[in-house]
Each structure stands twice: as C-alpha cells, then as structure tokens.
Structure 1
Amino acid sequence: MESVNYSAYIGLDVHKDTIAVAIASPERQGEIRFYGNISSAKEAVIRLMKKLIKLHGSILVCYEAGPTGYGLYRLLLSMNIECTVVAPSRIPKISTNKIKNDHRDAVALARLLRAGELVDVWVPDITHEAMRDLVRARSCAKKDTKVAKQRIQSILLRTGKKYEKKMWTVRHRVWLANQSFPLASQQIAYEHYRQSLEQIENRIEQLDQEIDRLLPNWSLYNLVNQLQALKGVGRTIAISVVAELGDFSRFSNPKQIMAFLGLIPGEHSSGSVTRKAGITKAGNVELRRLLYEAAWAYRNNAKVGSWLIANRPNSVCQEAKDISWKAQQRLCFRYRSLVAKGKKSQIAITAVARELLGFMWDIAVTTRNQRV
C-alpha cells in the first residue's frame, strides 16, 4: 500500500444487516474509538462516509473479505474514498484473546490498518466476478454429475446388472435406457436417477454456453487463449485458473503464486532441528486439483502432437508457444527423473504441477500487453 497521509483510519466489521465502525487517529499511539453500529443499507453507508469526510478529510477504509462480496468496496470507490478489502486469514490475532465481538473486530481492523499490518486481496471487476461465479457453478455441477453416476451404478450393482465395456459412451447410455426391473417402484427409482443425471448435464451445457457468451467481454480473455499453448491446459482449465487467480501480475514472482495455491513444501523448524513437511495445501483446493490434472500430461516424452496444435486457439502468440515447448522439455524430464529416484507418481505430479504454475505465470507476464 502506498504511503499516504490520512487523517483517519476506518475499520468496518461488515455483516448482512449491520456494520460496526471504528476510527483510529493517524498518530502511532493515537486514539482508537468505537463509533457505533449502522445499517448496511447503501443510504446509511453514504451518510456515514460523508460525515466522516467532513470531520476528518482524507480517510482510508478497510473491511474483511467475506460473503457480502465487493459491493461496499465499489460503493466507496464511486464516492472517491480509498478502500481496501483485507484477507481474513492474514489478520494478526493474539492467541490469549478469547473475547470476540463486532466492537472488538472493528477496533482491531482500524488499529491494524493504521499500523500497515493488513494484507489486501485482489478485487475483481464485475465481469470477472460473473465469470468466476459461472466457473464455480460449473464445478459444482460436475461434482453433482459424479454423484449422480455413482447412484446409477449402485442400483445396477445391487440388482446384478453389469456392463462389461467402456462406460458412459453412447452405447452404454443406450444400454442404461433399456434396463428394466421386476418391480415398478424400483424402475421409478432408477428412472429418477437417470433423469437427475440428464438434468445436471443440461445445466453444464447451459453454463458452458453462458461462459462462451461472456468470454469475449472479459478483460483476461487473451490470457485464457495464451495459457492454452501449454500441454495439458485446455479451455476449461485455462478459464478456471484465470477466473480464480485473476491478474497474474499482482504476483511479483512465480514463488508467490505457488505459495498462494499451497504448492510449496511446509516447514516446522526450531534451532538446529529442521523438519520438512508436505505441501502447505493453502488456497483453492479445486484449482490445485485442476493443476494436477494438467500435470499428468507430462508423463510422456516432450512432443508437440497434432492434438495440441489442433486445439490451440489461433490467437496464441509465438512467445507463448516457445514457453510451452520449454515447459514440456523441463517438466517431462522432471517427472521421469523423480520417478527414477523412487518417488511416488503423486509426489512427482505435485512437483510438475508446481512448476507448471510457474510457466503459466511466465506466459501471463510475457503476453500481458497483447490484445486478442
């Protein structure tokens, strides 16, 4: 955060119906007072901010990222009031403090904001937020698809019906439609499961259509295309990664983005004793899963096959292709060397996924100023 002299630092503890407000004086040991609770309605917030500006002049406001979203942030920006949305997981806390309420939370935010101890989060624009909602809705629908298929398989297994060939192909679905059961009630239960699966798949198709419609209007559309230069990174994975991570340039180096997604090794050391642990697993679980899925493409030798060429968007630039080939050479060798040393394939894939994320960052930085 830039060093600007503010006349007051405002901490807001935001809830659905109310907002607790605290004000910290600019002096290091200055007064921090609890202002009170106001309604979270837009009109009440505007009245409060006008009053605070009249009393203090230049102010800096903060509140925690949470379920209320970024509407308050955008409202304050429209009033030319500087605001920061802070990461709840990065707020310093005293372990012996066993009392928590809105009053204390607001005062703590104001105090820590004045001290510069808060870490802000990246706030997406409205289009980006809509794309992220679509991607998350699609991810939920895919999970529902897995559950629906398991239910169908379970009822078939209980009744001794087996399909010996590849499942969920066109032939398999025809076979499923032709299954019959001795009791009408059991047939109805089975048809219910099949209809549920069809409805979920229709939802996924509708979400895909809406993603396609919104994609050209997205400010990060070009980055989605450039990331598809990488082997294993298809359209869905590229959109999901960009939707969740947003602007890659907010990370000054690849190690930061690796740590952000919990792909770096943990450590618990003291004195001369060094204890290494597995990856920290911080950040987005679903995004980490997608990176693992992409990393499996690097088990074989480096090769630019016809499938990769055919599925790359035409707008992929030569710089992205060069980085993609460099990534293939390194990551394919990395996987084979780790397995040859006796590492489990899952551990090797984790290492590949971590470095693949670094190559994504490289593409994002290299092609930042390009347009579709």
Structure 2
Amino acid sequence: MQIPQSQYDNATAIRTDLGAIFVSLELSRATWLVTSLSPGGGEKMSKHVVQGGDVGELLSRFAHLQEKVRCRTGCVFPIITIQEAGLDGFWIHRVLQDHGVESHIVDAASIAASRRGRRAKTDRIDGETLVRTLLAFKRGEPRVCAMVRAPSPQEEDRRRVCRERRVLIAERVEHVNRIKGLLFAQGIGEYQPLRKDRRIRLDELRTGDGRALPPHLKAQILRELDRLELLLDHIAVVERERDLLVTAADENTTITRPAAMLCAIKGVGAEIAAVLCTEGLSRHFDNRRQVAAYAGLAPTPWQSGTIDREQGVSKAGNPRLRTTMIQLAWLWLRNQPSSALSEWFFHRVQSNGGRHKKSTIVALARKLLVALWKYVRLGVVIDGVAMKAA
C-alpha cells in the first residue's frame, strides 16, 4: 500500500507540539547565536544574535519569544535551552536555571554528524542541529546524545585543589629539567635541583673541563632556582589544602567519607584518594558500565559482518580520572599482590606468554575502578585486599 505524500510529510515534519519553546545557544567570546523553534510557527527556526556575556539581553530575547508565541497561540509556553559543554563552563546554565529556564548541556562529541569528507560547519548549522537534538532528547529517543550533569559550585570548587597540584607538578618538572639541561651542556650530570642544599652545591660545581660555572649561566640557574622554590612553596600549600579536604570532618560527607575509606587501603595515598573522589566517585552512577564509561575505560568494539576486533578503550571520559586509575593499577600490583584483581592480572599475562601487559593493565584499571566504586558506595570489600595498619 502506497503512503500518500501528505501523510508522509506529516510523519517526517519536525514536531513542535511538545508544549515548549526550544532554544539552542551557540556561544563565543564576541556573540551568542540564539536559534529557536516555537509552537505555531511551523518548521522555520528563527535566529538572533546577542552580545557575548550579556545575560540581560538574552533573557529579554527569551521574554520576546514567549510574548510572540502568546500572541500567536494564546498560551504561554516555557523555554527549554541547550548548549554545548565548552570554555564557558556552567555559569550560564546556573543563571538560566535561577530564572526558571530548563537548561541542558550536551557533550558535542555525542551528537551524530555527517561522515562526508567535507561537510559544512557554521554557527547557523550547529544551532539548528542542537535544536533538533533537543527535540529528539525531549521526545525520549534513546542514545540521541549525552547530556552533561552540571556539578554544584561546591563540587566544582573542590576539584581545583588536585587540578592545581597537577599543573604545579608539571611546572616543577619543567624547571628541574631546564636546570639539568643547562648543567649537562657543561659536563655536569650529578646535580639535583630538588635537594635542600641545592644552592650550596651550586657554588661547588665545576664544569667537565675543570672551570667554575660561567657568571651568566650561574645567574640564570639561580633565577630558575628562585622560581623552583616558589613552586615548591605553592605545592606544599596545595597539598595541605588537599589533606584537609580528605581528612576534615564536616557536614558534607560526599568527599570525606569515601576518601577516608580509600586511604585505609594499602597503596592508596591522599593524592589518589582525593582525585578519585573529586573527579569520579563522588558522582552518582546507575551501574558499573556508567562508571567505566565516565573514566573513558569502556571498550570500543568494531563489528561489521565477519570483522570483529577491539579498538581499545574509548578515552572519551574524564582524562584525569583515567590517568590516575592507570597509575593506581600499577601500584595495586605492587602493594596488593594477593588480591583477586592482582591474581587475575598475573594469570591473564601468563596465559598470553608474558605479553600484552599494557593492554591488560588498562583492563585491570577498569575492574579496579568498578571495585572501588562498589566499595565506597555499597561497602563491598575487594577480595583479598590488604588494609593499612591502624
């Protein structure tokens, strides 16, 4: 039976009968592009440009959209917005929610895109794509996109401690390597800039051909030591804040209780416990698959016809949590050799003839993350785990 063309058009038209005004925000430093689809306005999407950062003008545009729809339909419809997760963070999302606007933040990588070699990309096209994605999401279509759960301001602020320490450690490595490189070019390879007597030993150094350090080189290294010592002071301050975050007993046990439980495990220190709690384990997950996917440790199979191979982990989640879990997996083998997870790793590597250790350690990191999540959330103790002495 042939479907009439009019019925086919109605079936494929954009639905605007969900009782809301759907708005997408394409954000940039200079301008914000507001793309909207209103009830009673057909399938045409309207576009307006708002000056970047001007929230008052944005809210005025929303009020103008609602007034136009009220004059056209006689009803007042709420506004539902969508924006991509990006440099603006979550402050716009919080402002919209405070003004009664239903706001959603989407992971841009989760939106289906054309696979053509050259596809057009403009803010207008992206704005329309976001509106269609929001429509499909509100219709309840499965796996149409991945919405981001915005953290509270307190949760977002607690992450700063571990993230700042990671940045400071990277800067410390740069200064240490620069000092060692300058000295190695003079035939000096035993100098350690992180020792407490670094300035005294600097005066005693002699080049490979027996000369004292040239004055300009020594002055440059002294300035590098000044910056290095300032970094060491900042790292000490941040680590004290981290320890307070892990051990302090306050009314909010979302961070402190899981961190204390993790620190009681042998091989888990304050830094790893703080990163795991602030970056991952303080969030709500429905099942173990969501835990692994959030860390980017979920497998990505490639199956088509007779082709069936594994591409490795997705790496689409939190990179800080994933890196920490890989580090913890290696430490776990050293400090927890009798645990069930370590025995699984050793048996798996032995069955492969001692090969594929790196890929197996990633699988161990995924299993360990799920086990730690069950431990801090449900109190399920990991098999064979050794705890620290009281």
**TM-score with structure 1 setting the length:** 0.80
Structure 1 residue aligned with 2:95: 75
Structure 2 residue aligned with 1:194: 225
**Structure 1's 134 and 298: CA in aligned 2 closer, same or farther, altered over 3 A?**
closer
Do the aligned residues in 2 keep the contact of 1:34 with 1:103 (CA within 8 Å)?
no
Structure 2 residue aligned with 1:258: 292
Is 1:353–2:365 an aligned residue pair?
yes
The CA distance in 2 between the partners of 1:213 and 1:234, in whole Å, is 14
Unaligned runs of 5+ in 1: 304-327, 368-372
Amino acid at match of 2:113: K
**Structure 1's 265 and 301: CA in aligned 2 closer, same or farther, altered over 3 A?**
same
Structure 1 residue aligned with 2:27: 14
The CA distance in 2 between the partners of 1:357 and 1:64, in whole Å, is 28
- Deviation of 1:302 (Å): 4.0
Do the aligned residues in 2 keep the contact of 1:26 with 1:114 (CA within 8 Å)?
no
The CA distance in 2 between the partners of 1:173 and 1:286, in whole Å, is 35
**Structure 1's 242 and 99: CA in aligned 2 closer, same or farther, altered over 3 A?**
same
The CA distance in 1 between the partners of 2:255 and 2:311, in whole Å, is 35
Do the aligned residues in 2 keep the contact of 1:295 with 1:352 (CA within 8 Å)?
yes
Do the aligned residues in 2 keep the contact of 1:131 with 1:211 (CA within 8 Å)?
no
The CA distance in 2 between the partners of 1:160 and 1:106, in whole Å, is 60
Structure 2 residue aligned with 1:204: 235
**Structure 1's 63 and 255: CA in aligned 2 closer, same or farther, altered over 3 A?**
same
**Structure 1's 63 and 210: CA in aligned 2 closer, same or farther, altered over 3 A?**
same
Amino acid at match of 1:44: E
SS in 2 for 1:119: coil
Do the aligned residues in 2 keep the contact of 1:34 with 1:107 (CA within 8 Å)?
no
- Identity over the aligned pairs, expressed in percent? 24
SS in 2 for 1:299: helix
Deviations 1:285-344 (A, max 9, x none): 3332211221122224747xxxxxxxxxxxxxxxxxxxxxxxx62222123213322234
Q: How many residues align?
A: 338
- Deviation of 1:68 (Å): 0.8
1:319-334 superposed matches below 5 A: 329-334=339-344
SS in 1 for 2:312: strand
**Structure 1's 13 and 155: CA in aligned 2 closer, same or farther, altered over 3 A?**
same
**TM-score with structure 2 setting the length:** 0.77
Do the aligned residues in 1 keep the contact of 2:281 with 2:373 (CA within 8 Å)?
no
Deviations 1:44-69 (A, max 9, x none): 12222333444342221111111011
Unaligned runs of 5+ in 2: 1-16, 70-75, 138-143, 207-211, 380-390
**Structure 1's 185 and 247: CA in aligned 2 closer, same or farther, altered over 3 A?**
same
Do the aligned residues in 1 keep the contact of 2:266 with 2:336 (CA within 8 Å)?
no
Larger RCO: 1 or 2 (CA < 8 Å, sep 6+): 1
Do the aligned residues in 2 keep the contact of 1:32 with 1:111 (CA within 8 Å)?
no
